[in-house]
């Protein structure tokens, strides 16, 4: 029997959802017109006033906003409420050192956590469950989001954060965790470690909620088999709220977008034209209930397909596929957003040539990133400790910029292949978007 966290919302009729969306969109447009100068300016430039937006059918009239806009308006430019009404920030890593900071009122935190609670209940979570959250806590939304959702469902919540596999497995066996929340690559790594330690029979997991990075169906089957669980995908982004913008149900045939809060559109990334169901394009979100940091037609750069087809689980909210690619060059490594331009900035600051290549791979189910840098006469000396010291300096600077360890490999000049025209900066050996 399928269970829902908020059945009246999750299984509402399409007419009802449409009604909510239109009403909330109208209010949100008025709200940003009154409180966020950038939106007002953009709407005026497009010849729009709030009266032009009467229902969701008018949504396509609004201009898009992009990550660049968020950076330009950093930190307070898009705030729609006074700062003293905000209770939280979360943040993503950003290019060239400038992060994206999202603000939340208590209402915003609650709606975000409700979305995560829907995902947990869809994965079979009840107040009888022990939910182990091994997403990172802190500025990253993974840990706080699922933690809040788990509280709302009433699970016993284990706020483990990421890393320390030994301790993760000990808590998992000692406290009998039944739901695991982490990145899919960490789930796969945990599964391996559990088998190596021979403690598989002490594991009581039944479900896993895995997101923040791309993963394949093969990886899902592998994790499900090794841990004896059902593995659910979850999607989200800090700009819109965090994990739980959409989530998978037991049908595992796409992720239901929480449409009462976030209106999804799929567009042609080149023309901006809205595409119908079934067509592949860039995902765009409008957050219609957020108070502090409402984003209107935010271009996620994730490529996916929407489907309004009736779902076996009974939920009526539109489903999106896993991201099938990106319309920019962002990489997701160990759940962290990495832009090649961030790496380039570090290399330039340290005086290295702009000839570099980023090699991303997945070794033993864990993402690795290697930055190959061509040696220059200025960087070289006869002393091994001096050259190794420069290498380490680069590793430290990359860690500070990206938030994750990236291996640095110094290579011969001209070792990195030059291609005609656009340089091949990234080699991603993971083939994650292969469907």
Partner 1 sequence: MTVKQISVFLENKPGKLADFTDVLSAQGVDMRALSIAEASDFGIVRIIVDDVYNASTVLKDAGYICSITKVLAIEMPDEPGALSRIIRVLGNAGVNVEYMYAFTSSKKGRAYMIIRVADNEKAIDVLKSCGIRPICQDELSEL
Interface residues toward partner 1, by CB under 8 A: 375-377, 380-384, 387-388, 391, 409-415
DSSP code for 65: B
* 76 or 380: CB nearest partner 1: 380
Burial class (CB in 10 A: 0-12, 13-18, 19+), 415: middle
Nearest distance in Å: CB 76, partner 1: 45
Burial class (CB in 10 A: 0-12, 13-18, 19+), 56: buried
* 156 or 353: CB nearest partner 1: 353
Length of the chain: 435
* 156 or 411: CB nearest partner 1: 411
H runs (alpha helix) in 178-329: 184-197, 217-227
Burial class (CB in 10 A: 0-12, 13-18, 19+), 385: exposed
391/377 Cα distance (integer angstroms): 14
* 383 or 435: CB nearest partner 1: 383
* 38 or 387: CB nearest partner 1: 387
Nearest distance in Å: CB 377, partner 1: 6
Nearest distance in Å: CB 378, partner 1: 10
Residue partners of 336: CB distance under 8 A and separation at least 6: 93, 140, 402, 403, 404
* 164 or 388: CB nearest partner 1: 388
Nearest distance in Å: CB 340, partner 1: 21
For tokens 């990489």, name the residue.
331
Nearest distance in Å: CB 114, partner 1: 49
For tokens 């009888």, name the residue.
128
Nearest distance in Å: CB 420, partner 1: 20
Pairing of strands 86-92, 100-105: antiparallel
Nearest distance in Å: CB 385, partner 1: 8
Phi/psi of residue 175, nearest 5 degrees: -100, 0
* 164 or 381: CB nearest partner 1: 381
* 29 or 371: CB nearest partner 1: 371
76/53 Cα distance (integer angstroms): 26
Nearest distance in Å: CB 395, partner 1: 12
Q: How far is CA 282 from CA 10, 258, 297, 322, 328, in A?
A: 24, 18, 11, 12, 10
* 312 or 427: CB nearest partner 1: 427
Burial class (CB in 10 A: 0-12, 13-18, 19+), 64: middle
Region at 392 (left for phi over 0; alpha for psi -120 to 50; beta for the rest): alpha
Nearest distance in Å: CB 382, partner 1: 4
């Amino acid at each position: 029997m399928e269970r829902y966290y908020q059945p009246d919302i999750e299984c509402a009729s399409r007419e009802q959802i449409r009604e909510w969306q239109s009403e909330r969109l109208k209010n949100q447009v008025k709200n940003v017109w009154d409180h966020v100068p950038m939106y007002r300016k953009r709407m005026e430039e497009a010849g729009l006033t709030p009266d032009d937006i009467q229902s969701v059918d008018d949504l396509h009239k609004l201009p898009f906003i992009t990550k660049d806009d968020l950076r330009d308006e950093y930190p307070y430019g898009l705030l729609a409420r006074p700062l003293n009404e905000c209770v939280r920030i979360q943040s993503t890593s950003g290019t060239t050192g400038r992060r994206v900071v999202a603000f939340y009122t208590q209402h915003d935190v609650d709606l975000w956590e409700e979305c995560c609670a829907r995902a947990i209940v869809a994965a079979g979570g009840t107040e009888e469950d022990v939910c182990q959250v091994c997403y990172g806590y802190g500025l990253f939304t993974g840990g706080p989001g699922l933690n809040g959702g788990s509280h709302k469902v009433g699970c016993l919540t284990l706020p483990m954060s990421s890393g320390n596999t030994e301790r993760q497995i000990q808590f998992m066996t000692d406290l009998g965790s039944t739901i695991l929340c982490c990145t899919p690559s960490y789930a796969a790594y945990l599964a391996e470690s559990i088998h190596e330690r021979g403690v598989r029979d002490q594991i009581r997991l039944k479900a896993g909620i895995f997101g923040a990075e791309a993963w394949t169906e093969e990886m899902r089957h592998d994790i499900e088999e090794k841990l004896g669980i059902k593995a659910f995908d979850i999607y989200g982004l800090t700009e819109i709220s965090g994990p739980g913008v959409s989530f998978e149900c037991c049908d595992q045939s796409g992720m239901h977008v929480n449409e009462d809060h976030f209106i999804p559109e799929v567009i042609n990334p080149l023309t901006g034209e809205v595409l119908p169901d079934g067509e592949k394009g860039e995902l765009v979100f409008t957050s219609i209930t957020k108070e502090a940091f409402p984003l209107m037609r935010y271009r996620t750069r994730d490529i996916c397909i929407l489907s309004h087809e009736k779902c076996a689980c009974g939920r009526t909210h539109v489903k999106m596929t896993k991201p099938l690619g990106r319309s920019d060059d962002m990489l997701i490594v160990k759940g962290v957003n990495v832009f090649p331009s961030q790496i380039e900035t570090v290399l330039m600051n340290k005086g290295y040539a702009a000839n570099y290549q980023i090699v991303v791979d997945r070794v033993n189910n864990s993402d690795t990133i290697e930055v190959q840098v061509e040696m220059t006469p200025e960087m070289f000396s006869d002393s091994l400790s001096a050259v190794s010291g420069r290498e380490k300096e680069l590793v430290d600077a990359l860690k500070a910029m990206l938030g994750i360890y990236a291996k640095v490999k110094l290579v011969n000049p001209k070792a990195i292949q030059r291609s005609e025209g656009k340089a091949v900066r990234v080699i991603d050996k993971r083939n994650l978007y292969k469907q």
